[in-house]
Amino acid sequence: MNLEKIKEMNNLHERRALPEGWEWKRLGDVITFEYGKGLREDIRDQNGNIPVYGSNGIVGLHSIPLIEKPCIIVGRKGSAGQVHISKGPCWPIDTTYFITPPENIDLYFLFYLLSTLKLVNLDKSTAIPGLNRNDAYALKIPLPPLPTQRRIVSILEKADETKKLRAQADELTDRLLQSVFMEMFGDPVKNPRGWETATLGGVGEWTSGGTPSRTKPEYFQGTIPWYSAGELNDSYLLDSKEQITEEALKASSAKLFPKGTMLIGMYDSAAFKMGLLLRPASSNQACAAFIPKKEKLESLFALQLFKAMKPLFLSRRRGVRQKNLSQSIIKNFEIPLPPLPLQQEFARIVEKVEAMRQSQNQSKQQIEDLFSALMQKAFRGEI
């Protein structure tokens, strides 16, 4: 979003009347985006109780905080514009900004307000997503008196609690599948059932994606899903943030992977994040693509297997400043290989459970829509 667009948006806001006692303020006049500080993974104290925040949320623990007070964390690089709240001391790393609000701004009010600003849309980079704090500073925000801020927070927290209860139902569904998997196959790391084993290189094809030229914006105006590692969710992939054209595929190292392909993150905090394609799609080069051989490995079984073995995979990362995986490391991993009919039986159970989850997701979307509408009303002074 360029400065002209920001000015246009600010003008639209200011033409909207605010309730008595509210004011339009430049974001940069009321808060400061401070830079986080680097903290390499190999020097973090994982036995500590201080959360370490990256741009996409908590990425580890440490024993010493960078910030003693509760604060807001905003993604600066990578998951740029994402907003998180730390209710106690924390360590925001150098891919983030952190904000400690002044006395006239409630911490939780600021969190909800920043979440409505869609800071991710301010990203102007062409390679690694990034947020320039000066662009954020230029935004105009509606600022009510402190008592009104706290009343808004009280209303939004009640609505937020409903969202959390819905998320807990999803978590219980995940636990159900984990339990069924362990009951049918045992711990895949220990392989107590003595299943036949095979290397991952022997049970599927491994390849990687690519990025079409950003100098040709038309390449990103297509209909083919194109994923980055930041979108991998350890679950299913249906819709991507960006879509590319057939011409983009032909002019780059990007490839079209079939339905049932597993995308796996290879680098840093995205290492061994994964996602199973529910339709043909492509990805950037930060993702490895694993296409299971149908006569050996059922893709729904493979997803649960990979999730169960994830800690073991992560233990094999290499690097000092940034711990990464490589295809050569992954392809040499041995996995248990139960008989295909048993894998297929598990897949049928997964399909039934996911059908149940789909019906739950309809109500989840309704809750999300209601919460978004409530936040918009809150910051227009209509509640």
Pair (140, 210) in one structural domain: no
Q: Are residues 240 and 127 in the same domain?
A: no
How far are the Cα atoms of 87, 214, 248 from residue 220, in angstroms, in the given order?
Answer: 39, 8, 8
Q: CB of 61 within 8 A of CB of 41?
A: no
* Residue 119 and residue 215 in one domain: no
Q: What pLDDT, on a 0 to 100 scale, did the predictor assign at position 87?
A: 95
Answer yes or no: is 25 within a domain.
yes
- Inter-CA distances, 296 with 57, 184, 272, 283, Å: 37, 17, 22, 25
Structural contact between residues 309 and 236, judged by C-beta atoms closer than 8 angstroms: no
Kindly state whether residue 60 falls inside one of the protein's structural domains.
yes
85, 211: one domain = no
127 and 233 co-located in one domain: no
Q: Are residues 123 and 204 in the same domain?
A: no
Question: Residue 329: which residues within 8 A CB-CB, separation 6 or more?
Answer: 316, 318
Query: d(Cα 270, Cα 323) in Å, to the nearest integer?
Result: 10
Q: Which of 103, 126, 144 is the last residue of a domain?
A: 144
Is residue 96 a part of any domain in this protein? yes
Q: What is the DSSP string of 315-328?
A: TT-B-SSS-B--HH
pLDDT at residue 84, as a whole number: 97
139 with 203, same domain?
Answer: no
- Digit-by-digit pLDDT tens for the chain (383 residues) are 555 656 655 555 555 788 999 999 999 999 999 999 999 998 999 899 999 999 999 999 999 999 999 999 999 988 889 999 999 999 999 999 999 999 999 999 999 999 999 887 786 655 667 899 999 999 999 999 999 999 999 999 988 887 777 777 778 888 899 999 999 999 999 999 999 999 999 999 999 999 999 999 999 999 999 999 889 988 999 999 999 999 999 999 999 999 999 999 988 777 889 999 999 999 999 999 999 999 999 999 999 999 999 999 888 888 766 778 889 989 999 999 999 999 999 999 999 988 887 777 766 677 777 778 888 888 887 77
- Structural domain boundaries, residue 11: 3-144
Which candidate, 240, 248, 241, places its Cα nearest to that of 217?
A: 248
In this prediction the pTM is: 0.61
127 and 32 in one domain?
A: yes
Which of 303, 322, 337 represents a domain boundary (last residue)? 337
Indicate whether 35 and 135 sit together in one domain. Answer: yes
pLDDT of residue 332: 93
Count of structural domains within the chain: 2
Q: What are phi and psi of 55, to 5 degrees?
A: -65, -25
Are 302 and 207 within one domain? yes
Question: In this structure, are 119 and 232 located in the same domain?
Answer: no
Query: Does any domain span residue 105?
Result: yes
Instruction: Please report which helix (H) or strand (E) contains residue 378, including its range.
Output: helix 340-378
**237 and 130 in a common domain:** no
Query: Is 33 among the domain residues?
Result: yes
CATH of the domain at 127: 3.90.220.20
In a domain, 284, yes or no: yes
CB atoms within 10 A of CB 259: 11
Last residue of a domain, one of 318, 337, 356: 337
